[in-house]
Structure 1
């Protein structure tokens, strides 16, 4: 496996492509493509990885990913245990900005859109309060003729640039590091193994074996490519899973969440949870319960 160069199933004459996935699980490979991507999650849960950033995804989420940005929507294990078509449903909009003349983006009427497009390279998540309205627009795109589809996407960018103020950045704060195809193979193996085995005791020796390098070399290699330690990355994946379980109410208590997501004690879980989310597990549970009322 590698950071695959993915080509959307598109007619060559179109600048905007709409691809609807109705599957048992989402595309299971770390990949990138030259098109900007807007994704609406309709059904399915899992972990989104964008470069060296990770977080949980769920229905009604809307994401914008930059051109050539490595990413994967990794479906939760339940999608593979009972692989029924329709368990994962998303609409992806691919827009090749290279096909838009620079002079068009320099028009005065395009000023706000042009500024907005410069902010998306590291990825953005749409605030939840805009998701229903934007989701309705995205769902209608697949049935529009080519020109209307293009104009609708430009209008959508205008809405993004004028009306949306609280975007969530999918960025760690560090500059992106170029990943060659050979390095991508190794990084994808590391990511995939971590996502599949986060609840286990993943030792440094074990993950170094997956990368086919020595433990010492692995520590330097992972830090170079992600700007974080592997333990930090592993804990982020575990906390993402813990948050999903809280949101889905699939837990018996904080200790149960701690041990089932790979932590060796509730105390350590509480410490890492607070460091990662900015609040304690109890506060996080209360915050989500209050949203339901």
Structure 2
């Protein structure tokens, strides 16, 4: 599917609001240079973000990063019947570099870190949907400084109240915590992301922090709300999901070992615990993914 550039409506304001009331949602895979927060009020279909896809339904809320190809593809029935207002959504667009410049206003650091870790995009958790929906409607109905103020407050809410979110590059649910300013936690994160496909022991990461293993485990959980091994499993499974979506694997065994697992049995067990489906089911689900690219 060809990717087209979408022109966000021109506005003198820092954020742009667009409300869709259509027979079906915009039908082209597209990208733009702004980050996007979308509330689905009516309509359902398939959300495509780069090479990832999943169902979307009314009430769901998505945060999509800038320059990522995406599409809210309405189900075929919407094109067959074409009734007005069958697809209803509110979109907020903003340029994160202009809204929150680097090295400006230290009070915005948590928001800046949040935006930096929204890679392809995230789905807002169900428990936060009602509140976020109300705030987005209030933002839409306001203007000028009040609109900007309400939106920044919503971003601030995200930094403290969003916990387990669905990653729109893999479908894996992760605990969303902005990376701690603690340099030891940062070093552990960077080490893990670089070496996830090799054996990593608690002894190794404890030494990075110059701590005993018990002290490190307590320290890491305090800063991330999860154990280090759970964090490592999430990273490895997320990488496996990306390889499946991209078709970048030969077989289940090679996939497991390329993501740092020492056996297919362990891989299957951890994958199902994190994603809630087996690797085989996940592969079947995304087998036809290339037809959307």
Equivalent residue number for residue 167 of structure 1: 165
The one-character-per-residue Cα deviations of 1:175-218 (angstroms, maximum 9, x if unpaired) are xxxxxxxxxxxxxxxxxxxxxxxxxxxxxxxxxxxxxxxxxxxx
Instruction: Spell out, residue by residue over 1:56-89, the C-alpha distance to the aligned partner (whole angstroms, 9 max, x if none).
Output: 0000000000011100000001101110011100
Name 2:4's counterpart in structure 1: 4
Once the 2 structures are TM-superposed, how far is the Cα of residue 144 of structure 1 from its aligned partner? Answer: 0.8
Q: How does 1:109-188 map to 2 (within 5 A)?
A: 109-172=107-170
Q: Is the 8 A contact 2:96 2:115 kept in 1?
A: no
Q: Is the 8 A contact 2:43 2:58 kept in 1?
A: yes
How big is the shift at 1:10? 2.5
Correspondence for 2:69: 70
Structure 2 Cα separation of the partners of residues 32 and 168 of structure 1? 21
For 1:21-47, what per-residue CA distance to the aligned partner results, in whole angstroms no more than 9, with x for missing partners?
000000000000001000000000000
Query: How far apart are the structure 2 equivalents of 1:44 and 1:51?
Result: 21
CA distance in 1, matches of 2:100, 2:78: 42
> 2:136 is paired with a residue of what secondary structure?
helix
1:72-110 residue CA offsets vs partner (Å, 9 max, x unmatched): 00000110111001110000000112323625x642211
Q: Quick check: 1:91 aligned with 2:84?
A: no
* Cα distance per residue 1:214-259 (max 9 Å; x no partner): xxxxxxxxx99x6227xxxxxxxxxxxxxxxxxxxxxxxxxxxxxx
Q: Structure 1: how far apart are the matches of 2:121 and 2:7?
A: 19
- Which position in structure 1 is the counterpart of 2:259? none
Conserved? CA contact 2:100–2:112, under 8 Å: no
Alpha-carbon separation, structure 2, partners of 1:74 and 1:144: 29
- For structure 2, the 5+ residue unaligned runs are 172-241, 249-276, 285-293
In structure 1, C-alpha distance between the alignment counterparts of 2:278 and 2:119, rounded to whole Å: 29
Shift of 1:7: 1.1
8 Å CA contact 2:44–2:57 kept in 1: the answer is yes
Contact 1:112–1:162 (CA under 8 A) maintained in structure 2: no
Aligned to 1:228: 247
Q: 2: distance between equivalents of 1:274 and 1:32?
A: 31
CA distance in 2: counterparts of 1:67 and 1:146, whole angstroms: 23
The 8 Å contact of residues 28 and 72 in structure 1, kept in 2 or not, is answered as: yes
> 1:274 deviation in Å?
6.7
State the distance in 1 between where 2:89 and 2:67 align.
20
Q: Secondary structure at the match of 2:164?
A: coil
Q: Could you tell me how far apart the structure 2 residues matched to 1:69 and 1:101 are? A: 20
- Deviation beyond 6 Å, 4+ runs, structure 1: 271-274
State the 1:149 CA deviation: 1.3
Change (3 A) 1:151 1:45: same
TM-score, length basis structure 2: 0.59
Compute the TM-score of the two structures, normalised by the length of structure 1. Answer: 0.59
- The alpha-carbon distance between structure 1 residues 80 and 145, as it changes in their structure 2 partners (threshold 3 A), is same
Q: Offset of 1:121 from its aligned partner?
A: 2.6
**Which residue does the alignment assign to 1:276?**
282
Residue segments in structure 1 that go unaligned for 5+ positions in a row: 174-222, 230-270, 279-293
Aligned position for 1:14: 13
For residues 151 and 56 of structure 2, the distance between their equivalents in structure 1, rounded to whole angstroms, comes to 23
Matched pairs, number: 188
Which structure is higher in RCO with an 8 Å CA cutoff and minimum separation 6?
1
